[in-house]
Chain A
Amino acid sequence: MAVPVSFVLNGKPVTVTSPRDRMLVWVLRDELGLTGTKVGCEAGLCGACTVLVDFETVLSCSTTLGDVAGKSVLTIEGLTVEGKLDPLQKAFQDHHAFQCGYCTSGMIMAAWAFLKKKPKATREQIVEAMEGNICRCGAHVRILEAVETAGKGMGGVR
């Protein structure tokens, strides 16, 4: 049953009227038109749909609208503030850390949440944090470099 559910999306309050058990990824893409969040498996296996809820990574294909009621959701569209790229986005650009780009939103969101907590992470820790995100094009090496670069920018020089 469709009911109004309110949450904060990329810093702004929103209310959507949708069944509470509707998956967040469809609410974002279909209802709110934010198509930067991608769908690769719909089963929590690829990470393409990664977004942040209260700054924790969640897979929006496996998270319901009800789950985020009253919480704060951050998507790739919310990382660019007033046209200013986040340093992590910049690092992905500089390292050419993507090919087809389909995994990129999920990669950036997963890495962003991780770096906020652990800017001084080792390569092994980054690998572990990113293990749930699949890149079929094989941009992994560059993604790791981009995350390291952004981490250093955040003062995380090991």
Chain B
Amino acid sequence: MKRRTLLQATAGALTFFFTSRTSAAPVEPTRPGAYAEDFNAYLKISADGRVGCFVGKTELGQGALTVLAMLVAEELELDPAQVDVLLGDTDLCPWDLPTGGSLTMWQTAPVLRGAAAEVRAVLLGMAAKALGAAAADLALKDGAIWVKAAPTRRTTFGALVQGRKMVRHLGKVKPKPLSDCTVLGRHFPRKDALAKTTGAAKYAGDLRLPGTLHACLLRPPAHGLKLASADTAAAERVPGVRIVRDGNLLAVLHPQPDTARKALALVKGTFEGTELDVDDVRIYQYLVDKAAPGQRVVSSRGDVAAGEKRAATVVEAEYRNAYESHATLEPHTSVAKWEDGRMTVWASNQSPFVFRDSVAEALKLDKDKVRIVTPFVGGGFGGKLVAPVAVEAARIARQVPGVPIQVAWNREEDLFLDGYRPAAVVKLRAGLDASRGAITFWDSTVAGVSQGEAEFTYEMQTNRYQAPAVPDLHPLKAGAWRAPNAHTNAFARECQLDALAAKAGMDPVTLRRRLANDPRLLHLLELALEAFGWEPAPGPTGRGIGVACGAWRQALVVAVAQVAVDKTTGKVQVLRFLEAVDVGLVVNPEGARQQVEGAITMCIGQALSEEIRFKGGRILDKNFDTYLLPRFSAIPRMQVVFANSGTTITQGIGEPPVVPVAAALANAVFDATGARVTHVPFTPKRVLAALKRVPAK
């Protein structure tokens, strides 16, 4: 396929119907772990002057398409609408890290800006030659370059490059200084708006490649069990059904997705193996016991025992959180096709190159024999960093050459096979001195997650953090869930501080101010209080307002929540939620705001209702009737304020706003009722139990 067609095909949104390798393949071999240095890998200018941008990230809803186009548009003096972005195709895009951990802005953005800056300089050099003028005397805008003093002497990107690869290289060229930026920091329409509001956006399940067979896989009823034998006779009597087996994998194939699913129900399987003897109630003790032998001190300062003697106020508490599913609205889906010795997988994914490597490894293929193509992705949140569905589709496709095989998990499979946000227990003992200005000791032991982001920019002279180094600690599959570890640890820390402040008779903000050792945090606290219009007082005040702070790398967040608690039902209604966020330069303010609102909403579910119930290896939650996501009636009034404290490094925005949400809500519940909820999610039942523990006045 010619580059021209490619760029036409990419216009407006990402597309993915490239079935053959093309001249647009990466210009240098993809080196794992290193970004391509040749700008041609990222940017191509077609004969008609449109700019194509190729990046190995994926569009999950976070707005990558738009923000990447903005970065390129800035350097090349274009409107983002003039930049076509193609994401997540391992044949066409240079190697990149997974789309997660808020890394796109942190790691890819500087590389892409640098590449675009170099292209700008190269284009100016070419134009200088063509127009017989010094590069410094040229101006550019909207794909045209002209002599400033004589605007009729002009040329265009398209005329200069003529659709060829640019051969000049200048090495590192500095991107524009922020003060000269005209695109970054401004509001632009999302590039995926038209496709997503008209039903035209294609997700993996929407591909409908000719001849596709839909594959439904036989699943064990519980984790720990494996397929021993299966009777497929009844299923095979359904017209059009094909059965494919590969080791433990048994799939029923049919041209219609619903018929494949019905035929699967006719397969009788027997399973063997043992389930673990644990459930969603006993899991916490299970984790503590199993982690105990492997507990080690991962960080410590000062003498904790001596610090405890100096304490005037001591609080000891145990904080827990349940397993939680990613529950993307689009379940995991992949379509795989084995043809001419190559496996192509159209995958709903967050990490094209990890998917490529996983498929290659599972099928014992060279990596360059696998291509991952990424359509629109219906949510990720960390859940689609791993490739089991792509591997399943590829294993089946390997057995039926030339036939596209679609595997689309249904909701029950999605909830069963997900890698959950791990359940965890954080035990904390901590003390405050008599002048209520210093933490005299802070002793933290966590089981279930690491101590990631447990430490914060608070002055804690004496501290000790213990975390386990136990492999296979979890009886269920654990995965990366938006800001992994951080939200578990922030929940414990911020609730603990709140409890210390209340016990010492001081308000929660004053304590945090006294402990803050970063002026950015002080600034954010002030910003949050002012925007919320809140005058803190020692709790519980009955107003139901709570605060919490959190960090993700260099990003800082302060959350303020207001709740109403129904003391007879235990139901928590969130009335208001504010986040003050410092992520440095906000490249796409509207997109960033959206991410914050989304994180707050998602974590209202995390804090109040989402929990995977299980018994042994059986997952009891099979659909959204018991696995409860926040719905419209749960949504509070929201406010988002950004502070730019001058950190020039742009931080990602996917994770930071997640971190303090549950803690702010728990602290608000305390302020409303005097009850400490320490177990996430704080369901009505847990709230009622906490209310019972409140000592009568």
Contact = CB atoms under 8 A, between A and B. Distances in A.
Interface of A: 22-23, 26, 29-30, 33-43, 45-46, 48, 75-77, 79-80, 85, 89-90, 92-93, 96, 98-105, 108, 126-128, 130-144
Contact of B256 (A26, A77, A104): A26
A57 B206 CA distance: 22
Contacts of A38: 203, 329-330, 378
A96 B625 contact: no
29 contacts: A29-B206, A43-B624, A45-B624, A79-B198, A80-B198, A85-B197, A96-B590, A96-B594, A99-B379, A99-B594, A99-B598, A100-B329, A101-B61, A108-B197, A128-B633, A133-B631, A133-B632, A135-B329, A136-B327, A136-B328, A136-B329, A136-B381, A137-B61, A137-B329, A138-B598, A140-B635, A141-B638, A143-B632, A144-B632
Contacts of A100: 60-61, 328-330, 376-380
A23 B262 CA distance: 12
B623 interface: yes
> Which are the 6 A-B pairs with shortest beta-carbon distances?
A36-B199, A138-B601, A100-B61, A99-B61, A101-B196, A102-B378
B379 A138 contact: no
A131 B257 CA distance: 28
Given A43-B623, A100-B376, A142-B597, A36 B256 contact: no
Interface in B619-642: 623-625, 629-633, 635, 638
Given A134-B631, A140-B635, A36 B258 contact: no
A101 B594 contact: no
Contacts of B258: 22-23, 26, 30
A26 B379 contact: no
B513 interface: no
B311 interface: no
A134 B199 contact: no
Nearest to B640: A141
Nearest to A40: B329
A43 B623 CA distance: 8
A136 B379 contact: yes
Given A45-B624, A140-B601, A134 B629 contact: yes
Contacts of B376: 100-101
B601 A37 contact: no
Contacts of B601: 135, 138, 140-141
Interface in B192-213: 192-203, 205-206, 208
A36 B330 contact: no
Contact of A40 (B193, B194, B381, B411): B411
A132 B598 CA distance: 18
Contacts of A134: 329, 624, 629, 631
A96 B590 CA distance: 8
A42 B189 CA distance: 33
B146 to A, nearest CB: 34
A98 B61 contact: yes
Given A40-B331, A42-B410, A134-B631, A98 B377 contact: no
A93 B194 contact: yes
A40 B330 contact: yes
Contact of A104 (B62, B196, B206, B623): B196
B264 interface: no
Contacts of A48: 329
A6 B221 CA distance: 40
Interface centre among A93, A137, A144 (most CB of B within 10 A): A137
B499 interface: no
Contact of A127 (B591, B633, B638): B633
A131 B633 contact: yes
Interface residues of B, number: 57
Interface of B: 60-63, 189-190, 192-203, 205-206, 208, 256-258, 327-331, 376-381, 408, 410-411, 590-591, 594, 597-602, 623-625, 629-633, 635, 638
B329 A34 contact: no
Interface centre among B196, B327, B594, B625 (most CB of A within 10 A): B196
Nearest to B624: A45
Contact of A136 (B189, B600, B602): B602
A48 B203 CA distance: 13
Given A102-B379, A130-B632, A26 B257 contact: yes
B490 to A, nearest CB: 19
A102 B203 contact: yes
Nearest to B603: A138
Nearest to A36: B199
A129 B74 CA distance: 42
A19 to B, nearest CB: 9
B623 A41 contact: yes
B598 A139 contact: yes
Nearest to A34: B199
B192 A101 contact: yes
A27 to B, nearest CB: 9
Given A26-B258, A39-B205, A99-B61, A138 B196 contact: no
A132 B625 CA distance: 11
A35 B406 CA distance: 15
Contact of B624 (A41, A75, A127, A128): A41
Nearest to B208: A33
Interface centre among B61, B376, B599 (most CB of A within 10 A): B61
Contacts of A135: 329, 601
Interface centre among A33, A37, A138 (most CB of B within 10 A): A138
Contacts of A108: 197
Contacts of B625: 43, 45
Given A40-B330, A103-B329, A141 B201 contact: no
A141 B199 contact: no
A144 to B, nearest CB: 7
Contact of A105 (B199, B202, B408, B633): B199
Interface centre among A35, A45, A126, A141 (most CB of B within 10 A): A141
Contacts of A93: 189-190, 193-194, 197
A21 to B, nearest CB: 10
Contacts of B201: 101
Interface centre among B189, B376, B410, B598 (most CB of A within 10 A): B598
Contacts of A23: 258
B632 A102 contact: no
A142 B257 CA distance: 33
Contacts of A77: 198-199
B85 to A, nearest CB: 16
A98 B196 contact: yes
A102 B329 contact: yes
A40 to B, nearest CB: 5
Nearest to B330: A102
A89 to B, nearest CB: 4
Given A26-B256, A137-B61, A142 B379 contact: no
A127 B632 CA distance: 6
Contact of A35 (B193, B208, B256, B327): B208
Given A99-B60, A137-B379, A139-B594, 17 more contacts: A33-B208, A37-B199, A40-B329, A89-B197, A99-B62, A99-B594, A100-B380, A101-B196, A102-B330, A102-B378, A102-B379, A105-B199, A132-B631, A135-B601, A137-B598, A138-B598, A144-B635
Contacts of A46: 329, 624
A30 B256 CA distance: 7
Interface centre among B256, B258, B381 (most CB of A within 10 A): B258
B624 A96 contact: no
Nearest to A91: B197
B198 A76 contact: yes
Nearest to B327: A136
